[in-house]
Chains A and B, each alone.
Chain A
Amino acid sequence: MNKIRIKTISLFTSFFFGMALLLQPVASYAMTLDELIAAAQKEGEVNTYWHSSRMGKKVAKAFEEKYGIKVNATKMKDSEMTERIVREVSSGNVIVDLVGYDDGPFLDTVLTPKGMVENYVPPYLANDIPKDSQKPLIYLWQPFVIGYNSETYGDSCPIKSLWQLTEKDWSGRFHMWDPRIASSMLQMFSAMEDRSDELAASYKKHYGKDLKVSEANAGLEFVKRLAANNPVLYNEDYEIAVAVGTKGQSQAPIGIYSLGRHRENAKKNLALALCDVDPFKGLNQPTYMQIVKGAPHPNAARLLAYYVLTQEGANPWVGVVGAYSSNSSLGSSPDNPYPTAEAWKGTLLVSNNTNVANRRADLMDFWIKHSK
């Protein structure tokens, strides 16, 4: 009798044990935070490609101090990141674990449907992240704004309407990302198409006459005129900010860069200020956070993903001007013009991933064709 009982128990235990083994990949989603930390620590390190250098400079150090897990972070533009993610996944030689990625359109239309990335929403924070930021997971909103040099031009921006950027006066004096490299610019163009009417209205308001549209819509008309007005193109907005904000210039240019650059005003002796320009002050750029399929350190990647959504991990961004975490429970810097991303409302463009995906190739060619 006793014997039978022991046998039954051992049978049961082995059954559950076996089940547990079978379910393990699934179970990892349901890990407690402590379990996740333990699993991550076992992996020892995590590789990231990130849109921002703060991952490598700030987060990596704090994360390693806290968990003893080394973060190898490389700052990268999205076109390069796209290339690498696709290459790594299709070659089966995956190096990167977690990416902080700006190219939402590509993510939505290719990477996610093809299963090249895994959307991981830390279950411990699921309630704090708005549902519409969860699939795919947006971890950060960054305003990319039009800025000017406040030393040269004083308290008000030298332009009132975006259309002035297409005037001869500003030829060669608007600094921006190269649209061939940074998808943000294509996202901006697409969003401009979406909001053509406002652009046309702004033209009328500023010049007092109707815009003559020779392209499909006012958005395209603006892109065309901008391209033809000889803007200066960059790979990195660091350089744009320096070009715009360096003191002692009599003809300082205007540029578009991430609002976060304003935090460097003091440190680098710059005079960057936000342009209050009609109809849009810039673009609200969502940055997505995804785990790459077949990542060599999946648990460390999950832990890091969780970490940058906590106050401590998000602090390098949200602690200073220019970024909002998607974790609504985290505050933002008082230096921001608005306390939340939503509060900017219509003054910032927000692109529609599907529209961008449909239009990007054409927009790119359109841009190249009209560039001077």
Chain B
Amino acid sequence: MNSSVSSSHNSVLINLKIKFSKLLQQPTFLIGSVLVIILSYLVIAPIVSIFSNSVSLTMMDAMLSGGKDGEFTYKYVDRVFASSISEKIFWVPLKNSLTVSFFATLIALTLGLILASLVTSTNIFGRKYLGFLLIIPYMLPSQAMATAWLTMFKNRKISGPQGMLESFGITPPDWLAYGPLPISICMALSYFPFAFLLFSSALSKIDIQLEEVASTLGAKTKVIWSKIILPLLIPTTMSVLLLTVARTLGTFATPYILGTPAKYTLLSTSLYSSVRSNDSGVVAVIAIVLSLIGVMLLLVDIWVVRKWQRFVTVGGKGVKRQPSKLGILRTPTTLFAWVIFLIAALGPFIVLALSTLMREPGNFAFSNFGLAYWTGVNVPGMDQPGIFTSPEVITALKNSFLIAGSASVICGFLGLLIGYAVVRLPGTLISGFLRQISFLPYLMPGLAFAAAYLSLFAVSRGPIPALYGSISLLILVMVVTYLPYASRSGISAMMQVGPEPEEAGMVLGAGFWRRITSILAPLQKSALIIAIILPFITGMKELSLVVMLVTPGTELLTTQSIRFLDFGYTQLANATILIIGVVVMISVLILNRLTKTNLASGLGG
């Protein structure tokens, strides 16, 4: 009896000893555990705080109504769902959001599918260039499209310089200038490249032999498309559909710019109004609703993917599909594709650029052109310095680079680390937990996440000092928000490498750090570059996440452009957006040059 106790005690010790020596050989477990702790804090704490905020009395309300700060209350839930104003702040915006999402997604999906088919599988003119050019709208910040629209179509309903059409003597009606129609169109034009990318990659993955078999059996091109290719695209279509809906629901800039003048409120702008009026309890409730919609969409997506899994075909021999001849349709389809490019990518650029070059909108006289908005010391009629002489813009530019830059670097490394831990600890709790938790921020709308961070890190907590008003807060929140992209690419990169290269080093006597530095890191170089540049691009364009966290001195280019817009300095806002667009496009070119990767792989999230 006694001996069995002591031997079992002994075996526990021995077990521990083995575990420990394994840990020394392969400290993945250690890395995983540290990551679990860090991520729990950075991801779960804000989510918990959002939930608790939704049912506890805010400090502001406690001060005003004399309750106790943090006291349990249904006040906000009630206010959002069943009070006299819930229709205005929730139900109508919900309906509007769903309407706009529906139409935007429909247009984006159709455009994406048609353009992807044309570019991957037909001989339209310039298909080589279109593949890249049609992604450009995705690189522009979402307010670019909206402000370009406004610059073009605005009427006297709101103030500021004249719209371009207006200056030609045409007054666009309100329904064309503001509200659901322009919001849907602008969102669709901003998000169709996403559909385009996914469809293109799906089309190029379909085994060409499947089509060849059909044509040997006598099927014509038209039949092949309707009976074979399109059905095979159903899973992709579902994914595009759900993810685009999710994106449009979370978009803030477009409805803010185009919806506000018509009082057309979406959930995202309603959330922002609540933020602006310090109604943080309501913010929490709406944020939860938005997140729940996100979760629901994701679950449906997972279900769809699983259901259609049997459709997934193993890639063929990588033979490129022979572009089919369009014949008489070649010219019109080419025209169509290029017109879309013109409207969605080149159009905004031209409109924005023109507006910053013309003193008076719509006056094409040579003398009316000038660089006042860019280089002027004092822009006429604005009492403001031009972009290049404006200290605000220069600070914002610096901040954008600093914040998006450091966030993306941290994010990239963190993503690879997570990938490493997840892939090397298969089947463990840690692996599953890390995989799930690093994906969670994906479900939270940026505004909601920012709200959570604001309330969580405004005061010092544990080892983390009060971060309010600091650049670190912005970096932190960006890192966490972009983590899903980074960790996903990290995981897939690690999956591709497999354990052998590392094991080969192990056998030859390389210790853990040596394996990481001289084998794994160089192998993952291009994955790392992607994992850094993609968040950088997103960070440069980011608005909804940071719009409530910026403080004087920490403004970013995107928030600065909104500030300009608030003051009616449309041209300065446009110029700022142009700067963002240019920076992002240069980054994309660098990415292409460095890694020779298609954006499709990274943006497909």
User: Is A7 engaged at the interface, CB distance under 8 Å to the other chain?
Assistant: no
Query: Chain B residues near A131 (CB, 8 Å)?
Result: none
- Is A268 touching B381 in the complex (CB atoms < 8 A)? yes
User: Is A110 engaged at the interface, CB distance under 8 Å to the other chain?
Assistant: yes
CB closest chain-A residue, reference B465: A93
- Is A365 touching B466 in the complex (CB atoms < 8 A)? no
- Is A175 touching B159 in the complex (CB atoms < 8 A)? yes
Query: Chain B residues near A246 (CB, 8 Å)?
Result: 156, 159
- Measured in the bound complex, the distance between the Cα atoms of B59 and A76 in whole Å is 21
User: Is A181 engaged at the interface, CB distance under 8 Å to the other chain?
Assistant: yes
For A89-116 the 0/1 string (1 means CB < 8 A from B) is 0111101000000000000011000100
Given known contacts A88-B469, A91-B468, A110-B64, A239 and B85 CB-to-CB distance under 8 angstroms: no
For B432-459 the 0/1 string (1 means CB < 8 A from A) is 0000000000000000000000100011
CB closest chain-A residue, reference B61: A361
Query: Chain B residues near A178 (CB, 8 Å)?
Result: 273
Q: How far is the CB of A42 from chain B (nearest CB, A)?
A: 22
User: Is B17 engaged at the interface, CB distance under 8 Å to the other chain?
Assistant: no
- Is A365 touching B469 in the complex (CB atoms < 8 A)? no
User: Is A180 engaged at the interface, CB distance under 8 Å to the other chain?
Assistant: yes
User: Is B592 engaged at the interface, CB distance under 8 Å to the other chain?
Assistant: no
- Measured in the bound complex, the distance between the Cα atoms of B156 and A361 in whole Å is 32
Q: How far is the CB of A206 from chain B (nearest CB, A)?
A: 27
Given known contacts A93-B468, A371-B263, A267 and B381 CB-to-CB distance under 8 angstroms: yes
- Is A91 touching B459 in the complex (CB atoms < 8 A)? yes
- Is B566 touching A235 in the complex (CB atoms < 8 A)? yes
- Is B158 touching A239 in the complex (CB atoms < 8 A)? yes
- Is A243 touching B273 in the complex (CB atoms < 8 A)? no
User: Is A29 engaged at the interface, CB distance under 8 Å to the other chain?
Assistant: no
CB closest chain-A residue, reference B569: A238
User: Is A13 engaged at the interface, CB distance under 8 Å to the other chain?
Assistant: no
User: Which of A72, A91, A364, A369 contacts B277, CB < 8 Å?
Assistant: A364
- Is B458 touching A239 in the complex (CB atoms < 8 A)? no
Query: Chain A residues near B568 (CB, 8 Å)?
Result: 236, 238-239, 242
Instruction: Give the residues from 377 to 391 in chain B that come closer than 8 angstroms, CB to CB, to chain A.
Output: 381, 383
Given known contacts A175-B159, A242-B159, A91 and B460 CB-to-CB distance under 8 angstroms: yes
Query: Chain B residues near A269 (CB, 8 Å)?
Result: 381
- Is A87 touching B468 in the complex (CB atoms < 8 A)? yes
Chain B residue total in the interface (Cβ 8 A):
40
User: Which of A47, A172, A364 contacts B157, CB < 8 Å?
Assistant: A172
User: Which of B157, B160, B261, B276 contacts A181, CB < 8 Å?
Assistant: B276
- Is A110 touching B63 in the complex (CB atoms < 8 A)? yes
- Measured in the bound complex, the distance between the Cα atoms of B158 and A172 in whole Å is 10
User: Is A83 engaged at the interface, CB distance under 8 Å to the other chain?
Assistant: yes
User: Is B83 engaged at the interface, CB distance under 8 Å to the other chain?
Assistant: yes
For A182-223 the 0/1 string (1 means CB < 8 A from B) is 000000000000000000000000000000000000000000
Q: How many A-B residue pairs have CB under 8 A?
A: 112
- Measured in the bound complex, the distance between the Cα atoms of B263 and A109 in whole Å is 32
User: Is B552 engaged at the interface, CB distance under 8 Å to the other chain?
Assistant: yes
- Is B566 touching A242 in the complex (CB atoms < 8 A)? no
Query: Chain B residues near A242 (CB, 8 Å)?
Result: 159-160, 568
**Size range of the interface on A?**
35 or more
Q: How far is the CB of A179 from chain B (nearest CB, A)?
A: 9
Query: Chain B residues near A92 (CB, 8 Å)?
Result: 459-460, 466
With a 10 A CB-CB cut-off, give which of B65, B159, B277 has the most chain A CB atoms: B159
User: Is B567 engaged at the interface, CB distance under 8 Å to the other chain?
Assistant: yes
- Is B551 touching A82 in the complex (CB atoms < 8 A)? no
- Is A365 touching B159 in the complex (CB atoms < 8 A)? no
Query: Chain A residues near B273 (CB, 8 Å)?
Result: 178, 180-181
- Is A369 touching B84 in the complex (CB atoms < 8 A)? yes
Given known contacts A88-B469, A365-B83, A236 and B567 CB-to-CB distance under 8 angstroms: yes
- Measured in the bound complex, the distance between the Cα atoms of B89 and A91 in whole Å is 30
Chain B interface SS verdict (over half): loop
User: Is A14 engaged at the interface, CB distance under 8 Å to the other chain?
Assistant: no
User: Is B323 engaged at the interface, CB distance under 8 Å to the other chain?
Assistant: no
User: Is A251 engaged at the interface, CB distance under 8 Å to the other chain?
Assistant: yes
Q: How far is the CB of B47 from chain A (nearest CB, A)?
A: 21
Query: Chain B residues near A93 (CB, 8 Å)?
Result: 465-466, 468-470
User: Is B278 engaged at the interface, CB distance under 8 Å to the other chain?
Assistant: yes
Query: Chain A residues near B468 (CB, 8 Å)?
Result: 87-88, 91, 93
- Is A371 touching B88 in the complex (CB atoms < 8 A)? yes
User: Which of B156, B157, B278, B551 contacts A79, CB < 8 Å?
Assistant: B278
Query: Chain A residues near B157 (CB, 8 Å)?
Result: 172, 232
Q: How far is the CB of A296 from chain B (nearest CB, A)?
A: 12
- Is A232 touching B261 in the complex (CB atoms < 8 A)? yes
User: Is A357 engaged at the interface, CB distance under 8 Å to the other chain?
Assistant: yes
- Is A233 touching B263 in the complex (CB atoms < 8 A)? yes
Q: How far is the CB of B543 from chain A (nearest CB, A)?
A: 16
- Is B85 touching A72 in the complex (CB atoms < 8 A)? no
For A222-260 the 0/1 string (1 means CB < 8 A from B) is 000000001011111011111110100101010000000
User: Is B60 engaged at the interface, CB distance under 8 Å to the other chain?
Assistant: yes
- Is A238 touching B460 in the complex (CB atoms < 8 A)? no
Instruction: Give the residues from 235 to 271 in chain B that come closer than 8 angstroms, CB to CB, to chain A.
Output: 260-261, 263
For A324-358 the 0/1 string (1 means CB < 8 A from B) is 00000000000000000000000000000000010
- Measured in the bound complex, the distance between the Cα atoms of B460 and A103 in whole Å is 28
Q: How far is the CB of B28 from chain A (nearest CB, A)?
A: 38
Instruction: Give the residues from 54 to 85 in chain A that come closer than 8 angstroms, CB to CB, to chain B.
Output: 57, 72, 74, 76-77, 79-80, 82-84
- Measured in the bound complex, the distance between the Cα atoms of B65 and A241 in whole Å is 36
For A260-288 the 0/1 string (1 means CB < 8 A from B) is 00000001110000000000000000000
- Is A95 touching B63 in the complex (CB atoms < 8 A)? no
- Measured in the bound complex, the distance between the Cα atoms of B277 and A178 in whole Å is 10
User: Which of B59, B84, B470 contacts A90, CB < 8 Å?
Assistant: B59
- Is A91 touching B466 in the complex (CB atoms < 8 A)? yes
User: Is B553 engaged at the interface, CB distance under 8 Å to the other chain?
Assistant: yes
Query: Chain A residues near B469 (CB, 8 Å)?
Result: 88, 93, 95
User: Is A135 engaged at the interface, CB distance under 8 Å to the other chain?
Assistant: no
User: Which of B65, B158, B263, B553 contacts A243, CB < 8 Å?
Assistant: B158
- Measured in the bound complex, the distance between the Cα atoms of B568 and A156 in whole Å is 28
User: Is A20 engaged at the interface, CB distance under 8 Å to the other chain?
Assistant: no
- Is A230 touching B383 in the complex (CB atoms < 8 A)? no
Q: How far is the CB of B562 from chain A (nearest CB, A)?
A: 10
CB closest chain-B residue, reference A76: B552
Query: Chain B residues near A371 (CB, 8 Å)?
Result: 88, 263
Query: Chain A residues near B277 (CB, 8 Å)?
Result: 79, 180-181, 364
With a 10 A CB-CB cut-off, give which of A172, A244, A268, A369 has the most chain B CB atoms: A369
- Is B85 touching A240 in the complex (CB atoms < 8 A)? no
User: Is A21 engaged at the interface, CB distance under 8 Å to the other chain?
Assistant: no
User: Which of A82, A109, A239, A251 contacts B567, CB < 8 Å?
Assistant: A239
- Measured in the bound complex, the distance between the Cα atoms of B230 and A343 in whole Å is 77
User: Is A36 engaged at the interface, CB distance under 8 Å to the other chain?
Assistant: no
Query: Chain A residues near B553 (CB, 8 Å)?
Result: 72
User: Which of B63, B88, B276 contacts A368, CB < 8 Å?
Assistant: B88
- Is B64 touching A82 in the complex (CB atoms < 8 A)? no
Instruction: List 18 additional contacts besides A83-B60, A93-B470; criterion CB under 8 Å.
Output: A47-B552, A72-B552, A79-B277, A84-B551, A109-B63, A180-B277, A181-B273, A181-B277, A232-B158, A234-B159, A235-B566, A236-B568, A239-B160, A242-B159, A243-B158, A365-B84, A365-B85, A368-B88
Interface CB pairs A-B, < 8 A, 8: A83-B60, A91-B460, A110-B64, A233-B263, A236-B567, A267-B381, A361-B65, A369-B85
Shortest 6 CB-CB distances between A and B: which pairs?
A243-B159, A74-B552, A91-B466, A242-B159, A180-B277, A93-B466
Which residues of B come within 8 Å of A, CB atoms? 59-60, 63-65, 83-85, 87-89, 156-160, 260-261, 263, 273, 276-278, 381, 383, 454, 458-460, 465-466, 468-470, 551-553, 566-568
